[in-house]
Amino acid sequence: MTSSRLVPAGVARNWPGMTWAALGMAAAIAIAAPVRGHAADAFPSKPIVMVVPFAAGGPTDVVARSVAAAMSKSLGQSVVVENRLGAGGTVSASYVAKAAPDGYTILIHHNGMATAPALYSKLSYKPLTDFAFVGQVADVPMTLLGRHDLPPNSLPELVTYIQKNQSKVNLANAGLGAVSQLCGMLFQKAIGVDLQAIPYQGTAPAMTALLGGQVDVLCDQTTQTLPHIKADKVKLYGVTTVDRIQALPNAPTLREGGLKGFEVKVWHGVYAPKGTPPAVIDKLNGALRAALKDPAVAARLQELGAVIVPEDKQTPEGLRTWLAAEIDKWSPIIKAAGVKAD
């Protein structure tokens, strides 16, 4: 067979001055184009990895596993959760930003995607431009907790106690750059104290330390804290949302307890690496939306105090605009507070 037989007739006719090497490359591109389209049609043909930035068993992990299981059903392939811990979620985000843009490696992350640019002076990715957006998932309130035998019984009592015992009280968090760190930072700022911070690599180990009485105070999501609050294993000082929450109707908000304007709510988004084909993003988004309609997911999330976002936020554009607004909201607050994670 001569090499001329490998060149499609149309290519040779349209490009009479081309070298054989260039013609060969053009032919390869012509043959590869429909394969790429076919690859998107066939997606997914193998398991998808959903990267979670915090410890297994923690709040982000709980949301991720409920959604991943339901997405697996509609995609016909497993969506496997992989926990990649470290640096307040930036280890995971950086890993996914650099992964192959084929839809087989995706990220679920929370507010940390918006706070990292202000918290870290060296960030190896740009949240708004290094990812393709799949959609938002659910919002989760936070709770301000103390260890079971911490003396104060209400938020005003806690504030007075901390102000008197500043050097003795410590504040756990789920890692530098975690939302629990942000919540703790805002709490300290609101009451004018500077406590010793004890960072963990996610809420699961931070909560274990609180339950074991090794740390005094922790602010974290209901998806982790609710069962322990209901079992009376920790002291609850309030919820971080503007209004009281359905899952804990008797718990006052921190605002009611005297912390004016206090609000922290955890939101979640699903991302893929920049350059992931739009047809693949469509399939991932369809699976995400189907998961959020799944009654088992809705029941599980509701039971843990999470609220599935409205449909317009479950879209790529819904996530992108929200992330941009959150970066604009938190960057000046973090800078003004002088907090750095690195």
Is 203 a binding residue for ligand ASP by CB under 6 A? The answer is: yes
Q: Which residues touch 338 (CB under 8 Å, ≥6 apart)?
A: none
Is 216 a binding residue for ligand ASP by CB under 6 A? The answer is: no
66, 105, 221, 253: which one binds ligand ASP (CB under 6 A): 221
The stretch near ligand ASP (CB under 6 A) out of 52-60, 243-251, 256-264, 325-333 is: 52-60
Paired tokens of 21: 């090497």
Q: First CA to last CA across the chain, in angstroms?
A: 62
Is 202 a binding residue for ligand ASP by CB under 6 A? The answer is: yes
70, 123, 132, 178: which one binds ligand ASP (CB under 6 A): 178
Is 179 a binding residue for ligand ASP by CB under 6 A? The answer is: yes
Residue number, 139 or 220, with CB nearest to ligand ASP: 220
Nearest to 183 by CA among 219, 216, 155, 209: 219
Residue number, 44 or 202, with CB nearest to ligand ASP: 202
User: Is 147:213 a contact under the CB 8 Å cutoff?
Assistant: yes
Residue number, 55 or 195, with CB nearest to ligand ASP: 55
Rounded to whole angstroms, the Cα distance separating 287 from 84 reads 23
Residues binding ligand ASP: number (CB under 6 A):
15
* Binding-site string for ligand ASP from residue 106 to residue 125, where x marks contact by CB under 6 A and - marks none: ----x---------------
Is 220 a binding residue for ligand ASP by CB under 6 A? The answer is: yes
Rounded to whole angstroms, the Cα distance separating 201 from 286 reads 32
Strands (E), the chain: 48-52, 79-83, 105-109, 131-147, 170-173, 196-199, 217-221, 234-239, 265-273, 307-308
DSSP label of 87? G
Distance of alpha carbon 313 from its chain centroid, rounded? Answer: 15
Q: Which of residues 53-92 bind ligand ASP (CB under 6 A)?
A: 54-55, 58-61
Is 205 a binding residue for ligand ASP by CB under 6 A? The answer is: no
- Residues at the contact surface with ligand ASP, assessed by CB under 6 A: 54-55, 58-61, 110, 174, 178-180, 202-203, 220-221
